[in-house]
């Protein structure tokens, strides 16, 4: 065990889009004594996507008007420019992140699992499967995809979450039930329909009918466009406003029971497109919680319960604002970097350039609407 008690300035946990992006901002702020810990490899969560799944947010090259590619995590870096792909696959984006990490020479330790984090004498003790490390600050940037929601109702454990599917081409059968009609469920329905599979898509609400302008709430235009595909129209039955309460397995397949007393039969394993639980479970005790169960944060995305630990990524919430897409949560990279660099006595002058690219250095004004003021 390699144990060093000299504290680092920052440890970032997670080397996905959030971890790599915030690390670049930290380095831009003048912080050199940092380390990124990743339990798999850089971009592993994206590499685990089904082969057919693509980004719902389009990529386009950066331009002189002060805009970033929606899927960019750093100033001057555009997946569209590098890959010439508008809607990259997960595997393509994982490779993109690996190239960025290499280009910026981010100190990343892969295949390192964090098993515990404890505040200790004004610093944090991070215990990994390999050693113990002390640090003054922690940025928790673990994503969601490796933490699928599996226990939503009775019998959900015998279903298969879309996050565990390597390719929709591997699924045998011609008749499917998908539970959950937001992006991941609809994506599964689309790819199965394109293979002329019959699909019943059940959702407790009606995402495809939501009138919100916030893509964190309603479906993306990319999804609506795919719903117009003739094979989707002929093969997918949309069943809204029905809550699934139980799934049972029988000799003839599976029975999907709903709250209104209906029962849907399918010979194939029902698929779950019900989302993810988030990756902050290990550090949940270091954060107070909002009424909706998300971590309560300061204006700098720091824990209100334990100072020095920050949250970065799709689980960040401020008021009614949901930062669950890359182009949303990247706005907070400079906020976190400035807060940490200031506490270390660094000027963070370079972060001023983030303003022109629509990234925030000041706290948000929350207006209660589906926008950032």
Taking the CA atoms of 299, 289, 111 and 77 in sequence, report the sign of the dihedral they define: negative
Q: For the segment 258-296, what is each residue's pLDDT rounded down to a tens digit?
A: 999 999 999 999 999 998 887 778 899 999 999 998 999
C-alpha–C-alpha distance, residues 135 and 6, integer Å = 8
Residue-number span of the structural domain to which 321 is assigned: 2-146+277-357
Flag whether 364 is in a domain: no
Confidence of residue 370 (pLDDT cuts 50, 70, 90): very low
Question: Which pTM value belongs to this model?
Answer: 0.92
pLDDT at 365 over 90: no
Q: Which of 272, 291, 324 is the last residue of a domain?
A: 272
Q: What is the dihedral of CA 108, 87, 193, 204, to 10 degrees?
A: 70
Confidence of residue 147 (pLDDT cuts 50, 70, 90): confident
pLDDT at 368: 40
C-alpha–C-alpha distance, residues 346 and 342, integer Å = 5
pLDDT at 63: 63
Indicate the range of 105-114, 164-173, 261-270, 361-370 predicted with least confidence: 361-370
Flag whether 136 is in a domain: yes
Flag whether 362 is in a domain: no
Beta partners for residue 31, in sequence order: none
Same domain, 307 and 265: no
Confidence of residue 366 (pLDDT cuts 50, 70, 90): very low
Pairing mode of beta strands 317-318, 175-179 = unpaired
**Cβ distance 25 to 72 under 8 Å?**
no
Give me the chain's average pLDDT, please.
91
C-alpha–C-alpha distance, residues 63 and 74, integer Å = 13
Pairing mode of beta strands 198-202, 175-179 = parallel
Which residue is it, tokens 């790819």?
191
Flag whether 337 is in a domain: yes
What average pLDDT does range 153-162 have in this prediction? 95
Domain count within the chain: 2
- Classified as helix, coil or strand, 17 is helix
What percent of the chain has a predicted confidence (pLDDT) above 90?
77
What is the C-alpha radius of gyration for the chain, rounded to an integer number of angstroms? 22
Flag whether 370 is in a domain: no
Same domain, 70 and 219: no
In whole angstroms, what separates CA 109 from the centre of its chain? 21
Confidence of residue 223 (pLDDT cuts 50, 70, 90): very high
| Cβ-proximal residues to 145 (8 Å cutoff; 6+ apart), any chain | 45, 46, 48, 49, 163, 276
Angle at 19 between CA 16 and CA 25, to 5 degrees: 135
Same domain, 184 and 140: no
Q: For the segment 184-222, what is each residue's pLDDT rounded down to a tens digit?
A: 999 999 999 999 999 999 999 999 998 888 878 889 999
Flag whether 369 is in a domain: no
pLDDT at 369: 41
pLDDT at 66: 65
Same domain, 60 and 167: no
Tokens of 96: 């993109």
Same domain, 112 and 180: no
pLDDT at 367: 40
- Classified as helix, coil or strand, 285 is helix
């Amino acid at each position: 065990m390699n144990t060093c008690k000299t504290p680092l300035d920052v440890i970032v946990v997670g080397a996905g889009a959030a971890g790599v992006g915030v690390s670049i901002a930290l380095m831009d702020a003048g912080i050199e004594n940092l380390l990124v810990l990743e339990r798999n490899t850089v971009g592993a969560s994206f590499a685990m996507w089904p082969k057919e799944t693509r980004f719902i947010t389009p990529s386009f090259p950066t331009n002189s008007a002060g805009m970033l590619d929606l899927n960019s995590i750093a100033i001057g870096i555009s997946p569209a420019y590098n890959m010439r792909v508008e809607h990259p696959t997960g595997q393509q984006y994982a490779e993109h992140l690996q190239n960025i990490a290499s280009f910026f020479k981010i100190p990343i330790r892969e295949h390192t699992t964090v098993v515990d984090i404890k505040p200790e004498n004004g610093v944090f003790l991070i215990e990994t499967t390999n050693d113990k490390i002390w640090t003054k600050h922690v940025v928790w940037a673990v994503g969601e995809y490796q933490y699928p929601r599996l226990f939503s109702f009775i019998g959900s454990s015998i279903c298969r979450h879309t996050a565990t599917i390597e390719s929709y081409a591997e699924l045998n059968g011609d008749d499917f039930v998908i539970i959950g009609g937001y992006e991941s469920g609809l994506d599964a329905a689309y790819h199965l329909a394109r293979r002329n599979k019959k699909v019943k898509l059940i959702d407790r609400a009606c995402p495809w009918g939501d009138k919100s302008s916030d893509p964190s709430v309603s479906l993306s235009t990319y999804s609506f466009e795919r719903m117009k595909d003739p094979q989707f129209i002929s093969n997918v039955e949309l069943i809204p406003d029905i809550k699934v309460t139980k799934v049972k397995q029988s000799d003839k397949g599976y029975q999907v029971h709903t709250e209104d007393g209906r029962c849907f039969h399918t010979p194939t394993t029902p698929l779950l497109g019900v989302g993810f639980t988030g990756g902050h479970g290990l550090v949940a005790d270091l954060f107070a919680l909002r009424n909706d169960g998300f971590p309560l944060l300061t204006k700098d995305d720091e824990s209100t319960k334990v100072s020095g630990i920050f949250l970065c990524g799709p689980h960040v919430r401020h008021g009614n604002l949901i930062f669950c897409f890359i182009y949303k949560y990247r706005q907070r990279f400079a906020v976190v970097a400035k807060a940490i660099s200031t506490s270390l006595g660094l000027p963070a002058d370079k972060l001023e350039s983030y303003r022109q690219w629509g990234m925030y250095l000041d706290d948000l004004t929350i207006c209660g609407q589906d926008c950032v003021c």
